[in-house]
Amino acid sequence: MGRKLGILLKASIILLIPVLIFSVFYPVVMAGGVTGGTGSSLSTPESCLTSETHSTEGEADIVATAALEANGDVNITYEPTSDTRPLKERPFSLLSLQSMEFIDTHGFITGDENREYILNRSADSHWIRYRMTSGNSTDLDTARYPSTDEWAITVRPPHSKGKNVSLKTAGDGYTGSKTMYLGDFDRHSRTVGCQEFQVIVPNEVHSEFDADSRLDDLEAAARRIPSDQKNETVTVFVSPSSQGIGSRVGGFVLSGTSDIIVQEDGHFVNPGVVWIHEYIHTLQATDLQSDLQWVNEGLPTYLGYEIAVESGRITPIERDMYLGLSVSGGENMSLMNTTNQASEYMKGAAVFAQIDSDLRKKTDKSAYDMQGWFNSQNQTSYSDFERYLRDDAGLSNATVESYEPVIAGETAPTIDYRHAPANIPLPGLLLANWLLSPDIRLASMLILGAISIYGVLKYSIKKVRLSPENITF
């Protein structure tokens, strides 16, 4: 029995050693034969879009002060500035957004479609109270603005028709372009080219949150993607994982703004991928027609993987694993005129992986150039995209036509696994990615070291026992 257990133990060690060697010595980051594509390195000065400006308290006729109620509602009071004219002589209105639910108002009357609130000149005081219902994102069913009794991330109501209105917070807080934060926070910033990144971190966010690493991710994306749609200021509001922004949402961007709301832990993927993905949304200016709506999520998802692996944020094999999951999750889904968000994210990323592989192999273009082209277009249709791939990028008609059945869900995308064996089954990718995780790599090093020490000691002891001076007759 003991002899059989010994043989079994030796056989297990022999089988385990190749796995340990793979985990320890497989490169975490390598070039992977990536060629082609231009991208941007910010080697020349950029020209950024001027961010939307708001009146300061000294410039405005009206000062709005935002305060957080104990139940998470937001209360805003309106007062005239220091001169003698009362507020009723300074007419203005404010608009209710889709994501705002007005609880109560005083000193305003309802305008068109119950969305506009107009100053009531006969009132002595003016205030509104509202709460957030959902995020203005591509996933309205699940995205939400997080809040507690002590802090809240919320939109700032848009004002129109009249005098300038400045917005300030009653206590600690920060006001962005279209978003504001009420409560205690830390602010981290970085300038990249003509852009300034502001990261607003509530005190409730875990101490392990690494703002510098997330700013590195934003910088990597800003330097890699060509665009003439970059805003001067990009503000990221970080939501603590304890008050997440939705069951299936890692982050979202308010439409038409450079304000990002993102969950601190990245949700299902590496947080760096999520931050890059959401940043790319701030660059998108194309009005896509219905047959290309999937590009809005598919291309940022794919480029998020690419930039993350190029900057070392994820391992090369993680990139392959994410794309393998994309194929398995959306293989039979059609992207044309789809309303299925899973297909836009997953299948869309897999399609762009196939197109990017062809561009890199057959032209001097890449997915980065595609993103730049989309950013420069307006009212873009799928036929326009096909024309770009043929006439501008230089792909053949046969190659471009081969994408149609893939996009229609008739055939699965062909993924170029740059860092894993071709056609490796998805379970193999998942296993390989697990073996390359930092904790498993460390454990593998320790086990492999222990086996090596054991082998050396056993060999040494055996050699001593067989030495001539220890042999008697």
pLDDT at 462: 64
In this predicted structure, the answer to whether residue 202 has a pLDDT above a threshold of 90 is yes
Top pLDDT among 101 and 427 is at: 101
pLDDT at 299: 94
Torsion angle defined by CA atoms of residues 293, 101, 154 and 99, in that order, rounded to the nearest 10 degrees: 0
In this predicted structure, the answer to whether residue 36 has a pLDDT above a threshold of 50 is no
pLDDT at 305: 93
Q: For residue 68, how far is the Cα from the chain centroid? A: 28
pLDDT at 288: 86
- Strands laid side by side in the 93-95 sheet: 108-110, 116-119, 93-95, 159-160
Across 6-10, 131-135, 339-343, 395-399, least confident range: 6-10
In this predicted structure, the answer to whether residue 46 has a pLDDT above a threshold of 70 is no
Work out the pLDDT band at 236, boundaries 50, 70, 90: very high
Q: What is the mean pLDDT of the segment spanning 373-381? A: 86
Q: pLDDT tens digit string along 410-423? A: 888 888 776 655 55
Work out the pLDDT band at 114, boundaries 50, 70, 90: low
In this predicted structure, the answer to whether residue 55 has a pLDDT above a threshold of 70 is no
Q: pLDDT tens digit string along 135-191? A: 544 443 446 788 888 898 988 888 876 567 888 999 899 988 888 999 999 999 999
Q: pLDDT tens digit string along 283-340? A: 887 688 888 989 989 999 999 999 998 888 887 878 888 887 777 655 577 888 676 6
Work out the pLDDT band at 25, boundaries 50, 70, 90: low
pLDDT at 137: 47
Q: Tokens 């940043």 appear where?
A: 279
Which of 293, 295, 296, 323 lies closest to 308, judged by CA? Answer: 323
Work out the pLDDT band at 229, boundaries 50, 70, 90: confident
Work out the pLDDT band at 436, boundaries 50, 70, 90: low
